């Protein structure tokens, strides 16, 4: 998750997406899909998608984060 943040800050958006996706999968398996840490990663992935112009994907992540 932190590596994803670092890549995003360096404008390495493809690498950031890979790290966020990997972190999300791990958190879902370890903590469950509704855990606050999992949802934090979901929200961060939504922000990244927005920054990449992937608005449909961003909306899906934001909705998921809000629904908890």
| Model pLDDT for residues 3-62, shown as the tens digit of each residue | 888 999 999 999 999 999 999 999 999 999 999 999 999 999 999 999 999 999 999 999
Contacts of 21 (CB under 8 A, 6+ apart): 45
Distance from chain centroid for Cα 67: 15
How would residue 2 be classed by pLDDT, with cut points 50, 70 and 90? confident
Tell me if 3 sits within 8 A of 19, measured CB to CB: yes
What gap in Å lies between CA 37 and CA 27, rounded to an integer?
A: 7
What gap in Å lies between CA 42 and CA 49, rounded to an integer?
A: 11
- Tell me which architecture the domain covering 2-67 has in CATH: Alpha Horseshoe (1.25)
Tell me if 1 sits within 8 A of 19, measured CB to CB: yes
The pTM is what?
0.90
Domain ranges of the chain: 2-67
């Amino acid at each position: 998750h932190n590596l994803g943040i670092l890549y995003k800050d360096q404008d390495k958006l493809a690498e950031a997406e890979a790290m966020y996706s990997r972190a999300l999968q791990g958190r879902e398996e370890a903590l469950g899909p509704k855990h606050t840490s999992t949802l934090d990663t979901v929200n961060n992935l939504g922000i990244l998608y927005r920054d990449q112009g992937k608005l449909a994907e961003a909306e899906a992540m934001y909705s998921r984060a809000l629904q908890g």
